[in-house]
Amino acid sequence: MTLHLYDSASRANVPFTPLQEGQAAIYVCGPTTQSSPHLGHLRTFLAFDVLVRWLERSGYRVTYVRNVTDIDDKILAKAKENDAEWWAWSLRHELEFGRVMDALGARRPDYEPRATGHVPEMIEFMQRLIERGHAYPDGNGNVYFDVHSFPRYGALTRQDVNAMQDGGDAEAGKRNPADFALWKSAKADEPETASWPTPWGRGRPGWHLECSAMAKKYLGEAFDIHGGGLDLRFPHHENEQAQSWAAGYGFANLWLHSGLVTVDGMKMGKSLNNFITAEDVLSKHSAAAVRLALVSASYGSTLEFNADSIAEAETVWGRFCATVKRASEMDGVELLTAESLPEAFTLAMNDNLNAAGAMAEVHRGITALNAALSGNDGAAVSEKLAEVRGMLDVFGLDPLHAHWRSTGGGDDIALRALDALVSSQIAQRAEARAAKDWARADAIRDALQNSGIRVEDGANGARWSIES
């Protein structure tokens, strides 16, 4: 089965057929840097990190672009509230976002352009739209896209512009309330540094224009996949597509949208007091477990995050680490690279990145690896270990990867503490066995087993693992 992805535009699972054979070009709407990243951001960007990994594993040469919206109304407002320069406020949160994604083991995009670095491209884009009759300056420094000039407006979300109830603001310079801003005029109460000269007056970019201009610069007039959070479908992605099509470009071949995050069954929001920032979650849980919790569900589904789900992720990650570590340290085991992955895993990933199905195969692989360890078969352990690591690497969670090894398995202070506690119990059990106190030795073993810890005796002493 070839890779099929759910295209939000056609609302169907369709084969991935790249515009250039053997290559995949992806544009993902990145952060708007007005505040710290939250759980919803993490879910979206980790989902596309997995997509990039799977495409590369499938043999594609990937070009991945993720922009930074480093100026907009909210950034200016937040900076003013905090008595900060807008550009300093924006950079602070851009750097924070980068640190968080690094901690989660996400790959950096090939290009990560900022909106403020592409004003010339945006001016050129607007000039083209004006020349083609799809945009107009209002004489006061604003430039708007004329939605009624373009009959295909609304195609992405299947809306009729004439039936839209909240098409936009009835600003004085607009021909129609549904028209959207390509360029916003400079305001008297805003810093002069937050505006740039154009043929129509000083101002700054509209939110939608920047993505079309940057996608064209880095990926060309047409590219394979455009991604982002589900909340961006309208108006942001609808407007991106309309202005790019109206300019005569092909734009995105497929649209992928990641699902929302709920907390204890409710949509995350500050008003509900269940808003979880990246700092919140990473201060309480290992980065690897957070990543596991966020990538284990299929990317387009609504993801439920709660105390039980993250606790389960911590347990599962500990099991993965313990088994993989034990296998890698076994005498006679070679650290191989899997040439191919289990068929069931590949079928699941090719079915619109079916993470749940793929993770089920990972768990089966862990069970098979434990069985090979019990049989003390070095060749079988080497083979199964390579398969397990290969599958986990697709999710960015290979415990032996340098990132997780350098952070102790995803900041596994907890795992190291567990190792110390269990090793202490095993040492006491060894003392009991040496003294022929079998009752005490059995009691220690049973207590560990009841806690999910399996103890196996071997020629070189007892070893432990978390039961799968």
pLDDT in tens, 116-149: 999 999 999 999 999 999 999 999 999 999 999 9
Q: In whole angstroms, how far apart are CA 338 and each of 10, 149, 372, 388?
A: 36, 54, 17, 9
CATH 1.20.120 residue ranges of the chain are 307-410
Name the band, by pLDDT with cuts 50, 70 and 90, for residue 317: very high
Contact, 425 vs 433, CB < 8 A?
Answer: no
Q: In whole angstroms, how far apart are CA 377 and each of 81, 302, 342, 374?
A: 64, 42, 20, 8
CATH number of 4-263: 3.40.50.620
Average pLDDT (393-420) is 74
**Nearest Cα residue to 66 out of 35, 100, 111:** 111
Q: Residues 294-308: pLDDT tens digits? A: 999 999 999 999 999
Q: Residues 28-81: pLDDT tens digits? A: 999 999 999 999 999 999 999 999 999 999 999 999 999 999 999 999 999 999
- Please say whether the structural domain 307-410 has been given the CATH code 1.20.120: yes
Q: Which pLDDT belongs to residue 410?
A: 43
Q: What is the pTM of this model?
A: 0.86
Q: Residues 337-366: pLDDT tens digits? A: 999 999 999 999 999 999 999 999 999 999
Task: Output 26 or 417, whichever has higher pLDDT.
Answer: 26
Q: In whole angstroms, how far apart are CA 314 and each of 142, 221, 392, 414?
A: 51, 44, 15, 9
Q: In whole angstroms, how far apart are CA 3 and each of 141, 225, 330, 348?
A: 46, 13, 36, 10
Q: Which pLDDT belongs to residue 419?
A: 61
Q: Which pLDDT belongs to residue 285?
A: 95
CATH 3.40.50.620 residue ranges of the chain are 4-263
Task: Output 265 or 236, whichever has higher pLDDT.
Answer: 236
Radius of gyration of the chain (CA): 26
Q: Which pLDDT belongs to residue 416?
A: 52
